[in-house]
Amino acid sequence: MQNKFRNSAVVLTLTTLSAFLLACGNMAETPVPTSENKSTSSVNQAGEDTGSAEQTAADEGKVQQTRQFKDWTGHNATIPVTPERVIYHGEVTGDLVALGVIPVGILRQEGMVFDDLVANAEDVGFPFNVEKALGLNPDLIIFSNNDEEQYSQISKIAPTVTFNSFASLEDRMRILGDMLNKKQEAEEWITANKTATAEMWKQLHENGLKEGETASVFTMYPGNRLFVMAGAGLPQLLYGKDGLTPTDEIQKVIDEGMGFAEISLEKMTEVAGDRIFILDPVTDDAKQSTKELMDSPVWKNLPAVKAGKVYNFSIVKASGDAMSREWLLKELPKQMMQ
């Protein structure tokens, strides 16, 4: 039941954060399997009524090679060697974009750093809109969910693989690189990201960041609920090599395999680090709660607040995907070095 709720809700994080919080809590429960590269060849024969996507390829006289791919939840799916019309349904679309793959269908969220690059992609919605997906003639659907009932319906449209969007960024890029026949591009991106990340932290340390400084990431959820984030998105960058350190209370959350924890306002005094990062929410009521938080005596008396070491980021832009990571590597120094 827990996993089913997690996966039905996870995409709602794109507009409300709720599923982001729920999904992060299950990160430790779902190991990331590696894909299998057992390649086989098959031919879509012209004139054979095997579905609109295959028919289109056949009509154009194309020969499409396929192979077996073992996905996140253990399905052995037969997928194209080089997918050309991909639908990605999940919250890390930027991973595909960073590999040079622009999906024909996505779960759209306005305000991402790569909006212009996916402007022509169709929004397949939440829940997944089967009719829209059919009209896109996909040759591969990547489904960031482990709900078997939904998988069964979606996999009737086109070859479908499940994908753990809460795996580490490097793991995701390698899995997608394999899945999309972009292995070289994935390794090049990983290498470039490691170099850029190291250079960013070097720059920050040269400009006042001290070894061992702690950091906390907070966000407000509708209903005046305060959360400290630990295991996805911005924290993955902050708590990486050469970076900032989680406070003891946040480390406990991480050690428990949880991506977040709801806390009281009073608890902030124990959780807040030397530097505080606020993820600005999307909904109006959560925005109002954030304002009330910052007007509170507890907030105003935090050492980081008094020292002017508070940084605000849009929760949409400071996402965990590869394109957002590239943006954060440039934006983080801008804010921290002001």
Cα-to-chain-centroid distance, residue 183: 19
Q: How far apart are CA 305 and CA 302, in angstroms?
A: 5
The pLDDT value recorded for residue 63 is 58
Q: Which CATH number fits domain 2-181: 3.40.50.1950, 3.30.360.10, 3.40.710.10, 3.40.50.1980?
A: 3.40.50.1980
Domain 189-336 has CATH 3.40.50.1460: no
Type of residue numbered 69: F
Type of residue numbered 15: T
The pLDDT value recorded for residue 257 is 77
CB-side exposure of 143: number of CA atoms within 13 Å? Answer: 33
Contacts by 115-118 with C-beta closer than 8 Å and gap 24+?
117/323, 118/93
- Do 2-181 and 189-336 have matching folds? yes
The pLDDT value recorded for residue 72 is 97
**DSSP per-residue codes, 235-296:** HHHHTSTTS-EE-HHHHHHHHTT-SEEEE-TTTHHHH--SEEEEEE-SSHHHHHHHHHHHTS
> What tokens does 26 get?
């299950």
The pLDDT value recorded for residue 42 is 36
Q: Is the backbone of residue 117 left (phi > 0), alpha (psi -120 to 50) or beta?
A: alpha
The pLDDT value recorded for residue 1 is 33
Which of 94, 26, 20 lies closest to 279 in space, CA to CA? 20
- Give the residue ranges of the chain where pLDDT is below 50: 1-16, 18-51, 55, 57-61
Map out the domains of the chain as residue ranges: 2-181, 189-336
The pLDDT value recorded for residue 256 is 87
